[in-house]
Amino acid sequence: MDFISNLINPGSVAVVLMGAFFITFLGYCLGRISIKGVSLGTAGVFLTALLFGYLFTLPGLKEIPVLSKFHIADASASAMDRYGFMGDIGLILFVTAVGSIAGPNFFRDLKKNAKTYIPMGAIIIAIGALAAAAFAAVPGIGSSFASGVLSGALTSTPAFSAAKEIAGDKAAMVSLGQAISYPFGVVGVVLFVQIMPKMLKANMDKERALIANPAKAKKEVNTDAEAAADACDMPAKETTAKKRFDIDGFGLAAFGVAVVLGILLGSIKIPLTSKGYNGSCFSLGMTGGPLIMALILAHFGHIGPMNMRVNTQVLKIFREFGLVLFLLGAGVEGGVQLVEQIQNSQYGIMIVVYGFIAGVIITIIPMVVGYIFARKVCKLPLLSTLGSITGGMTSTPALGTLISVAGTDDVAGAYASTYPIALVLIVFACQIIGIVL
């Protein structure tokens, strides 16, 4: 046994990389399994990572040569920092790529549907918050556990942080609630955006045309005079474009600028209480900051003479790779945290059962109500509705799945339009539940 351990002795960073790519392989295999046309897709990586997060904590792993390197004692282990860092990088890559792809058409879509997207975000969060408040009123549950379940069901890290701060010495209950509800919060939305088109037997070609309708309509009604005017404008546009320069052929430098400015924007903190910066603060974080900055830069397309367009294929690779890294980090951390929180809990297995059931309810009901509102009241196309739901649920993995299901990146505009209002409201909702109840 000692001979094998000495022969195969990878370093700590290599161990994390080996674990990450092995989980990726198995996760994609799981995601490929399709039942009546519905599959987990990239979310299979999350469930596999969640399982391995649990397996890494097993004490018996320490006795097995080579595999002992993968053992994670608890949430404070150095390996957790590495998986967490990997997840943060993935999240930034994903949202920046999504923003860069959606940016050119984002403000057009927002202008047309702002009166729909903003209420959508508000309705989804309000329904989720009301369900969480009702759950908190159950004897023996309490507001801290309920707010944790809410933040997990809507997969919101900023809300989780705000709930922990309000909870004070009951912060462990917030962590327990979040750990229990988070897995279904991820998987539930991923399955919803796949199941709805199947249930409706949607014609995806027609739906793609509907979500891209403004551009198509303009082309169809374009008169000869308008075409001539466009033709006259073309030389001027080409001349302007030629004056701009690319730092590199792939647009990686421009992407880097978007990431840096996005992180800076996301780091800005706005105090929410009289305690100033020592109390609860709101920030866009590493999701909202890079997303909004990428949308803005992609909309304008340049900073002075520097071209800010990124090669589309590069963006699609960053989007997929970033999503995988994010799901890896979140899954492994979630598996370890779930084990630790349940082991440390003094409330028995029933509170875990209650938390899971509440999480399922808080995930499903807001999506159903949001869908009915968007389709019946606002008359939104199916793909715009589902894109807005992923934004209202602040679900990054579901957006990745929806893009794959829809076969178009246009759905990212609805996500990006709804996400900011949902992000703000979910933070406030968790704080109100923690303070009032």
Tens-digit pLDDT profile for residues 265-322: 988 888 867 777 777 677 777 777 888 888 889 888 888 888 888 888 889 899 889 8
Task: Identify whether the C-beta of residue 383 lies closer than 8 Å to the C-beta of residue 113.
Answer: no
Number of domains in the chain: 1
Q: Bridge-partner residues for 302, per DSSP?
A: 307
**217 pLDDT exceeds 60?**
no
**153 pLDDT exceeds 80?**
yes
Mean pLDDT of 148-165: 82
Give the whole-angstrom CA distance, residue 368 versus residue 426: 18
What residues contact residue 81 under an 8 Å CB cut-off, 6+ apart?
Answer: none
Place of tokens 């701009």: 244
**27 pLDDT exceeds 60?**
yes
Question: What's this model's pTM, rounded to 2 decimal places?
Answer: 0.74
In a domain, 227, yes or no: no
* pLDDT band at residue 374 using 50, 70 and 90 as cut-offs: very high
Q: Give the Å distances, CA to CA, from 206 to 112, 211, 212, 379, 398.
A: 20, 9, 10, 15, 22
Summarised one tens digit per residue, pLDDT across range 173-196 is 887 888 888 889 988 999 999 999
In a domain, 73, yes or no: no
* pLDDT band at residue 366 using 50, 70 and 90 as cut-offs: very high
What residues contact residue 436 under an 8 Å CB cut-off, 6+ apart?
Answer: 143
Q: Report the pLDDT value the prediction gives residue 346, as an integer from 0 to 100.
A: 66
Q: If DSSP codes are grouped into helix, strand and coil, which group holds residue 34?
A: strand
In a domain, 233, yes or no: no
Q: Give the Å distances, CA to CA, from 414 to 195, 214, 328.
A: 19, 14, 26
In a domain, 292, yes or no: yes
Q: Check residue 306 and report its DSSP letter.
A: E
**414 pLDDT exceeds 90?**
no
Task: Identify whether the C-beta of residue 105 lies closer than 8 Å to the C-beta of residue 295.
Answer: no
Place of tokens 């019946």: 376
Summarised one tens digit per residue, pLDDT across range 84-135 is 888 889 888 988 888 888 788 777 777 777 788 889 999 999 999 999 999 8
348: which 2 tokens? Answer: 């028995």
CA 315 from chain center: how many Å? 17
Q: Report the pLDDT value the prediction gives residue 120, as an integer from 0 to 100.
A: 92
In a domain, 222, yes or no: no
What mean pLDDT value characterizes the chain? Answer: 81
In a domain, 224, yes or no: no
The CATH number of residue 300's host domain is 1.20.1530
* pLDDT band at residue 347 using 50, 70 and 90 as cut-offs: low
Q: If DSSP codes are grouped into helix, strand and coil, which group holds residue 39?
A: strand
In a domain, 75, yes or no: no
Q: Which is more confidently placed, 161 or 413? A: 413
Mean pLDDT of 255-266: 91
Give the whole-angstrom CA distance, residue 281 versus residue 255: 28
Q: Report the pLDDT value the prediction gives residue 213, as an integer from 0 to 100.
A: 60
Task: Flag the least confident range among 229-243, 301-315, 390-404.
Answer: 229-243
Instruction: Write 7-13 long-range contacts (CB < 8 A, 24+).
Output: 8/65, 8/66, 9/69, 10/69, 12/69, 12/78, 12/79, 12/82, 13/82
* pLDDT band at residue 385 using 50, 70 and 90 as cut-offs: very high
Q: Report the pLDDT value the prediction gives residue 382, as an integer from 0 to 100.
A: 92
Q: Report the pLDDT value the prediction gives residue 228, as an integer from 0 to 100.
A: 37
Q: In the chain, helix, strand, coil percent, each to 5?
A: 80, 5, 20
In a domain, 221, yes or no: no
Q: What is the span of the domain harbouring residue 170?
A: 2-66+80-214+239-436
